[in-house]
Structure 1
Amino acid sequence: MKKITIALMLILSGSVFSQVSVGAPIQQNNKWTFGGGIGLGFGSNSAFYLQASPRVGYRLTDDLEAGVIGSVSWQTSKYYSSTMFGAGPFANYYFARSFYVGANLQHYFIDYKDKFYDYKDHREETALYLGGGYMQRIGGNSFMQIGVMYNVLWKENSSVFSSGLVPNIGFVVGL
């Protein structure tokens, strides 16, 4: 079921972004970029996960972009629920218009509720993600980004995240 859901979301998001003037000449007169990613997941014990991470950037040069990224996620199951908001700056360096390396600093605000023990918690955590990946042109100046980031501030016993490694798929328009 998870594989079908992930494949369906990729196809839907690809079709939405493919509407951006496929085959049109690349316009480099606007330096603003827009994009982000979405996530959706299902699991055992009635688990449901929804995440969105919009981003706005500015091309400082043809190969260097900096901006602000946000994230919001909701998770719920039979036993717990959580809401997480995050925001912070990012920078990406692009080479050969097919690859990128980047850094992303996020500060998260997390509200957690354990339904079984009736326990509530509010935490904050900062993450510094470093990584990179591959870019695939999907039309005009629009790209799909597939990559991996690692949170270099992640600590196994004190983080709300289960791992420091984060695979990602996103879209950006304006490169």
Structure 2
Amino acid sequence: MKKFIIPLMLVISGSLFSQVSIGTGSQQNNRWTFGGGIGVGFGSNSAFYLQASPRVGYKITDDLEGGVVGSISWQTSDYYKSTMFGVGPFVNYYIARSFYVGANLQQYFINYKDKFYDYKVNEQETALYLGGGYMQRIGANSFMQLGLMYNVLWKENSSVFSSGLVPNIGFVVGL
């Protein structure tokens, strides 16, 4: 079932963003970009994960973009329930519209509840992601981004995240 749902979500997302880019045309004077990513996961003990990360950017130059990205995720299982919101600025530099390098500062607000012990945590964490990746054109001015970012502020014993390394898949319209 997992092998079917994840590719289906990627195809649906790609077709939605492709349709948006066809409708906007190739306006050279429009410097705004839109996009984001979605994620769905399943695991043992009835684990379910849903994540969305919308973004709005502005082309400072043809190869440099800055903007704001948000993030919201819900996780649940037989043992815990978690909600996380994040928001912050980003900057991307594009190399020949095939590769990108970027930085993203996120402030996360985390609500966690352990169902077994009735333990609750409300905390915040700051993350500074640095990395880059590959871009694949999927429409007139839209791209799919495949990348890898690393949170340089991550510390093993004091972070709510299990790792500082984050793979990502996203879509951008307006480049």
| Range into which the TM-score falls when normalised by the shorter chain | over 0.9
Determine what percentage of the aligned residue pairs are the same residue. Answer: 82
**Shift of residue 43, structure 1, vs aligned partner:** 1.0
1:52 — aligned with what? 52
Counterpart check, 1:8 vs 2:8: yes
Distance 1:30 1:2, change over 3 A: same
Q: How many angstroms does 1:3 deviate by?
A: 2.5
Q: Give distance in 2, aligned partners of 1:160 and 1:16.
A: 33
Query: Quick one: structure 1 residues 120 and 21, their matched pair in 2 at CA, closer, same or farther if it must change by over 3 Å?
Result: closer
Q: Deviations over 1:64-102 (max 9, x none)?
A: 000000000000000000000000000000011110000
One-letter identity of the residue aligned with 1:96: A
Matched, 1:99 2:66: no
Match of 2:62 in 1: 62
Return the alpha-carbon distance in structure 2 between the equivalents of residues 28 and 103 of structure 1. 25
Considering only aligned residues, what root-mean-square deviation do their CA atoms show, in Å?
A: 1.3
Cα deviations by residue, 1:46-81 (Å, 9 ceiling, x for unpaired): 111110100001000000000000000000000000
Tell me by how many angstroms 1:25 deviates.
Answer: 6.6
Any conservation in 1 of the 2:156–2:162 contact (CA below 8 Å)?
yes
Q: What secondary structure, in the 3-state scheme, does the structure 2 residue paired with 1:5 have?
A: helix
Give the TM-score taking structure 2 as reference length: 0.95
- The 3-state SS of whatever aligns with 1:18 is helix
Partner of 1:133: 133
Q: Secondary structure at the match of 1:13?
A: helix
**CA–CA distance in 2 between the matches of 1:25 and 1:37?**
22
- The letter for the 2-side match of 1:77 is S
Shift of 1:13: 1.1
Distance 1:114 1:43 in 2: 17
Q: Distance in 1 between matches of 2:127 and 2:140?
A: 33
Q: What is the number of residues matched between the two proteins?
A: 174
Whether the 8 Å contact between 1:20 and 1:139 is mirrored in structure 2 is: no
Aligned to 1:37: 37
Asked whether the 8 Å contact 1:36–1:52 carries over to 2, the reply is yes
Give distance in 1, aligned partners of 2:21 and 2:102.
Answer: 27
Task: Tell me if the contact between 2:87 and 2:106 (Cα under 8 Å) persists in the aligned partners.
Answer: yes
Q: CA deviation at 1:21?
A: 5.2
Instruction: Determine the C-alpha separation between the residues in 1 that align with 2:110 and 2:21.
Output: 39
Between 1:7-16 and 1:56-65, the stretch displaced more is 7-16
Change beyond 3 A, Cα 1:137–1:113: same
1:41 CA drift (Å):
0.9
Asked whether the 8 Å contact 1:27–1:141 carries over to 2, the reply is no
